[in-house]
Structures are given as structure tokens and as C-alpha cells.
Amino acid sequence: MKILLTILTVLSPVLMFATDIRSQELSTQNMQKQNTQITKLAADELSKTLPQTIDKHTKLIKVASNETALIYIFEIDAAPKSDEVIKKEDHSGMKEAVTIGVCRSSKRFLEANITITYIYNSAKSKAELFRFDIDNKSCSNL
């Protein structure tokens, strides 16, 4: 009887820990589904006011979702600059500005493991100029 009691005493915390892990896995799966729904709803809602002029060179033309990513698609009209010049001269400054801005404005999304993607296309050629994928880790590097 003492042996049985000792075994139960030792196994009890282990069983509770295993149950805890199983419920955490389920919660993670549910959170993933919930985040997918949130990104779709956010994209649908934000798309209602598009296109939207951001500044004299930039327009937000589309907001989409893909799983747990919220994707903002912009067009840049920086004529007479060519696409190559824009890529070369503006990439690092844009990346830093976008990352800082997203980390400040979308903190709750990022903390919920939702990735924010900014895609900048050329208004002239429609070619992709920049793509910035920002997640919670991106903000910890600031």
C-alpha cells in the first residue's frame, strides 16, 4: 500500500504537467485559428477605405491576409526616379522607418504572433520594389 501511495504521489505532478502541455497545445491551435480570422477581418475592414493616399509619392492600394499575416500593399510613384534607383537609394531608410512604425502601431498584432508585411510596388512598372516582413522579433532588435 505504501508503494502504491508513493507511486501515485510521484506520478501526480507528472500527469498534471502532461495535461497542462496538452491543453497548451490546444490553446496554441485555437489561437492560430483565431489569429487567421482576425487578420481576415482586419484586411476586409481596412480595405473598405482604399485606395488611400499616404503622401505625395505613396498610396495604400490593398490590404490582404494570408494565414496569420496582415499584408499592406502600396504603390510608389517617385518619377522621374527609376525603379532601380528607388531600390538602391531608399531601401535601408524605408526598412527602418516601416519597422519602427509597425512596432509602435501594431504592437498587439505582433504580440499575438501576427506578422505584418509591407509590400511597395512601382506605380509605373508594377514591379515589387520593397518587401518588409515584421514580426515580434523584429521589434526586439530596435
Mean pLDDT of all residues in 39-53? 91
pLDDT digits (tens, 9 = 90+) for 76-130: 998 888 999 999 999 989 999 999 999 998 888 898 889 999 999 999 999 999 9
Closest CA to 63 of 78, 82, 54, 50: 50
pTM given for the model: 0.77
What are 49's strand-pairing partners?
none
Range of the domain at 116: 2-140
pLDDT digits (tens, 9 = 90+) for 7-25: 444 444 444 444 444 445 5
Mean pLDDT of all residues in 131-140? 93
Number of domains in the chain: 1
CATH classification at residue 63: 3.30.300.250
